[in-house]
Structures are given as structure tokens and as C-alpha cells.
Structure 1
Amino acid sequence: MILIADSGSTKTDWCVVGNSGKVLSISTQGINPLVQSENEVERVLRAELMPAMTYISDITDIRFYGAGCRDEMITVLERLLRKVFPAAVNVCVYSDLLAVARALCGKNEGIACILGTGANSCLYDGEHITANTPALGYILGDEGSGAVLGKLFVNALFKGRLSDKVRTAFEAETQLTMPVIINKVYRQPMPNRFLASLSLFIGRHIDEPDLHRLVVDNFRSFLVRNIRPYCRPDLPVNAIGSMAYHYRECLEEAARAEGMRIGTVMKSPMEGLVRYHSDI
């Protein structure tokens, strides 16, 4: 049996896959080796994952995809997973971007993107990532992301580039004033998540021309700055994440404006990863 993990900083989805397909799904808190110690990661594995596992002795392969899985952290996670699953013969740790590429494209060449709170993209050859435009985070980059959309929205709102109707609705629905937003962005933890949460208001009012244009322009910036450098207009742009999933029509409009086309769009990668590893 294969144990597949799709891990972010907030949540990790685990799936046990046997010859007949998916047999068990589990969720634990997120695992990110860049921000958690080895002891913390092992505690999550033993306290949250192991009690829910009913096929421990049958796990022969582990495929862990996660945020923060850079080269120097891969050996750390592989060692911890082998410690917790001593019967596993093959233990492999990969980046969350490779998870998206394999979930979206399978064993075919393609362009794969993350469009959620953050944004990223890559060119994929059917097995490995061959090119990646640096995302640079929501302050320096992350075009197309929920965090950047929130940043653009706040800027437009308080600099008078949105209609009075939108501003009145925002204040009535959220009770967020300029001082409150400034405090959340500059003095509170996780400002990227707060900014991305403003997408909920935008989504409820996406029929407003100003907001529709804001979303489309955010996606166009992503396509121009991150996808065009791959120089592969023959390939569709595939994407996973809440922004791509909930704003698919805006994403397709942005792609048409830039002479590109959208392919597969998913909310999360697990089902695609199950298919990918079931075919190996």
C-alpha cells in the first residue's frame, strides 16, 4: 500500500492507496519543516496520524508532498517518516509544487500553477519540474494570488478607485475600517492570510465591474509575469487552488486576453495524486 501526503502549513491530507484504489483518508495539522522542529513533526506523526492508521504494517511506499520541502529539509522528513513507518521500503519527499504538477498533468508535459493564498507555477515534463518562475511571495510577487488580490483591493478601496457602492457594502459587511486593516497587515501575524480572506467579499460582489476587473487584471499579471517566460504557448495553463477554482471564469477571461488557454482546474491535488501513483 502507498501512503500519500499533501501538506501545507495549516493542514496535511493523508491518503492510503491500495490495489483497489483509495482505502483511507486522514487529516492532521500541517507539517512544514521550515517552521517546525524535528520533535514537533514527529509529535504530529505519532499523536495525530498513527492513532488513525489501520494499515501501518502494510505501508510499503510513502510519497510526501509538502510546503517547505526544500533540498536541505527532504532528508530530515524522510528520516522521520522511516522512523515512524519502519516497514516502508520506499520513502520519498517532494515539494508542494511537484504535487500540483503531477496532480494536474499526470505523466504528460504541461504548465502547472498554484493559485490560492499564494501563487506559484512551473513547466513540467511528465515527471520532473524543468522550469520555475520565482514566485517571490506576496510582497515582491505572487501575482494572481488571494493575498495580492486583497492587497490590490485595499489599495483601490482607500485611494478612491472603487465605487461608493462597493465601499459602503464592504464597510457594512465586514466592519473593517482603514485603521483595523492597517493593524492587521502591519502588526498582526499572517497578514497574507488576512489579505486573502478579503477575496470572500470580492467573490460575493464579483458582478460589480470594478471588482471583476480587479480579479481579471490580477490573473493577467500572473500570466504575463510568470507563465509567458516559459515560452510555451502551445501548452494550456493548468491550475490548483481556491483562486483558480472559485474565479475560473475570470481566469479564462484573463487567459483569452493574453492569448493563452486554461486547461484543468482543481481545488486540491489529492485526487490527482491518487491517480498518478495508482498508475505507477
Structure 2
Amino acid sequence: MKLIADSGSTKTDWVCINADNSIQPVEAHTVGLNPFHMSDDEFRQVLVRDLLTQLGDVEITDVYFYGSGVRPEVEERVTGLLREAFPAAQTIEAHSDMLGAARALCGRTSGIACILGTGANSCVYDGHKIVHNTPALGYIIGDEGSGAVLGKHLIHDIYTGVLSQRVRNMFEQETKLKLSDIIDKVYRQPQPNRFLASFSEFIHRHLDDDGIREMVYSAFSDFVNLHLSRYGRPELPVSFVGSIAWYYQAQLSLVLQTLGYHLGTILKSPLEGLITYHQDS
């Protein structure tokens, strides 16, 4: 049977597809497997100690791994590590999370595929491969429209007075955070991008505030103008995967329509789309 993996920085979800295309009831979950942040031994340990234990005696014939950090230069390395865990598999492939998103969203048709979650990325996909991609630069110098950047704008606009005192009061009351706490989390603690992205829940709860709503529209407009416009393909449907796209569908759709694009599919997670893609292969 086929084993499909959707791996982010935090966790990896594994699903098996039987020969008749039904979904195997056995599902597995492990920590995220990012080859940029893990040694070969750490990667192997997760596969052997965690994954194989959960899969039990399931016979795997094909492995398709999609993960963050799987750039072209490390695909062979990741494939080799997976081969060690599944020596009897006939096919083993390792690809980027961006290609995973494109296959999940577009299947075998062309389109613009986007990731809009804690971070952001996008590409033009021709139904087989990525043909154009603006690089993901991270939340400090890129990631426009992402959860981390929305959180960054929120903090900036609250404490510089762009947003009202009412919003500041609500924020501090609901989060129990002061500016000194935020500075510590952002500049001294690990994973500040996830911390900033956590404020997307506050933003979503208060979209009735004009200032917050305009901030969201501005962030999504930046994503379109700085990334999608570079492709010069406004005729293609624009599809999204990720929590920000999922929860902000109405705002995202309005921005796309205003700027001359049409919305395709939105998925909270790529796994469902990847299952469909590989059931058809």
C-alpha cells in the first residue's frame, strides 16, 4: 500500500492507501521531520522508534513524503533515509511542502497554489511540476499575509497607536500579556514566529473593528501584490492551504476579487488533497 506523509515543522501526519484506494484505518503521527533542523540520526530515530511502531506489520510498497525544508538539494538525502526504513518499497519520493500543496490543491491541472499559515509561500503549477516560485523569506523579511506577519502587524499597530486604545485594552485583557512579555517572547525565546502567529485568533475574533479589518486586508493585499503579481497569470485560479487561508476565507476572497484574481480551492490541511491525488495515480 501507499504511505503519504504531510510533514510540517511541528508534526508529521502519515496515512496509508490500500491497493483498492480505500484508506487504511491505521494512521500515524510523529514530530515534524525537517532535514534542515535534524541530523540523519535524529531523522532515523523518529522513523524507527515512532513511525514503524505505529504502522505495525502494514506492508508499504510506495512512500510519498512532502515536507518543509525538503529543498531539491536534500531530496536525495531524505529519500535515502526513508529507503532505510522501508527497504521493500518500490517507489520512494521526497518533495517540498510547496509541491505537496500544489498537488493537493490543483491535482493534475494548472493553477497558482499558495500556503498561508504560520508562514507563506506560493507557486505556479502546471499540473505536474512547479514552474515559477517566489521564495519563502520568513516572517522577518517576507511571509506577507501569514499568521506570523499578521501578529507582527497587530503588535506594531497596538503599541504605536495605529489601533485604538480600546483594542489595546482588549488585547491585554484577553492575552494577559504586557509589552515587556511580548518583547521577551519575540527577541529572547525560541520560535517567535509561532508566538506571533498565535495572535491570529485574537485578530479573527475582532474583525468587527475597522482598524483590525483594514490591517488584515492590507496584509493579504501585500501577499497578492508582492507575490502573485510577479507571476503575471491572473487567469489562473488561486488556491490556498493553511489555517490563515481557512479561517479568513471571506477577507481573502474579497482581496483577490478586488485585485483581479479568482479564488479556487481552500484547504485547511493538504493531506485530504494529497490522498485524492495519489488515489488517482
Q: What is the TM-score of this pair, normalised by structure 1?
A: 0.97
Which residue in 1 is equivalent to 2:247? Answer: 246
Amino acid in the other structure paired with 1:174: T
State the distance in 2 between where 1:228 and 1:55 align.
49
What does the per-residue CA deviation read over 1:246-267, in whole Å, with 9 as the maximum and x for residues that have no partner? 0111101111221112110000
Alignment partner of 1:35 out of 25, 34, 37:
37
1:211 Cα deviation after fit: 0.9
**Runs (5+) with no aligned partner, structure 1:** none
Which residue in 2 is equivalent to 1:48? Answer: 50
Amino acid in the other structure paired with 2:184: N
1:182 Cα deviation after fit: 1.0
Amino acid in the other structure paired with 2:174: E
Amino acid in the other structure paired with 2:175: T
1:16 Cα deviation after fit: 0.5
Which residue in 2 is equivalent to 1:67? Answer: 68
Which residue in 2 is equivalent to 1:9? Answer: 9
What is the DSSP-based 3-state SS (H/G/I as helix, E as strand, rest coil) of the residue aligned with 1:143?
Answer: coil
1:71 Cα deviation after fit: 2.1
1:207 Cα deviation after fit: 1.3
What does the per-residue CA deviation read over 1:132-163, in whole Å, with 9 as the maximum and x for residues that have no partner? 01221111111010011111111100010111
What is the DSSP-based 3-state SS (H/G/I as helix, E as strand, rest coil) of the residue aligned with 2:134?
Answer: coil
Query: Equivalent pairs: percent with the same residue?
Result: 50
What does the per-residue CA deviation read over 1:6-29, in whole Å, with 9 as the maximum and x for residues that have no partner? 101100000100123211321111
Range 242-251 or range 198-207, more displaced: 198-207
Q: Which runs of 4+ in 1 moved over 6 A?
A: none
State the distance in 2 between where 1:193 and 1:14 align.
23
Q: Is the 8 A contact 2:101 2:241 kept in 1?
A: yes
1:54 Cα deviation after fit: 3.7
What does the per-residue CA deviation read over 1:75-112, in whole Å, with 9 as the maximum and x for residues that have no partner? 11111111111110111100000000000000000000
1:72 Cα deviation after fit: 2.5
What does the per-residue CA deviation read over 1:203-253, in whole Å, with 9 as the maximum and x for residues that have no partner? 111111111111111001001110011111111210000100001111011
Q: Is the 8 A contact 2:27 2:55 kept in 1?
A: no
**Runs (5+) with no aligned partner, structure 2:** none
State the distance in 2 between where 1:209 and 1:11 align.
36
What does the per-residue CA deviation read over 1:140-195, in whole Å, with 9 as the maximum and x for residues that have no partner? 11101001111111110001011121111101111111111111111111111111
Amino acid in the other structure paired with 1:101: A
1:55 Cα deviation after fit: 4.6
Matches within 5 A, 1:1-280: 1-18=1-18, 19-23=20-24, 24-56=26-58, 58-280=59-281
State the distance in 1 between where 2:276 and 2:250 align.
26
Amino acid in the other structure paired with 1:199: S
What is the DSSP-based 3-state SS (H/G/I as helix, E as strand, rest coil) of the residue aligned with 1:111?
Answer: strand
What is the DSSP-based 3-state SS (H/G/I as helix, E as strand, rest coil) of the residue aligned with 1:87?
Answer: coil
CA RMSD of aligned residues (A): 1.0
Amino acid in the other structure paired with 2:89: A
Q: How many residues are paired up? A: 279
Range 31-40 or range 198-207, more displaced: 198-207
Amino acid in the other structure paired with 2:180: P
What is the DSSP-based 3-state SS (H/G/I as helix, E as strand, rest coil) of the residue aligned with 1:226?
Answer: helix
Q: What is the TM-score of this pair, normalised by structure 2?
A: 0.97
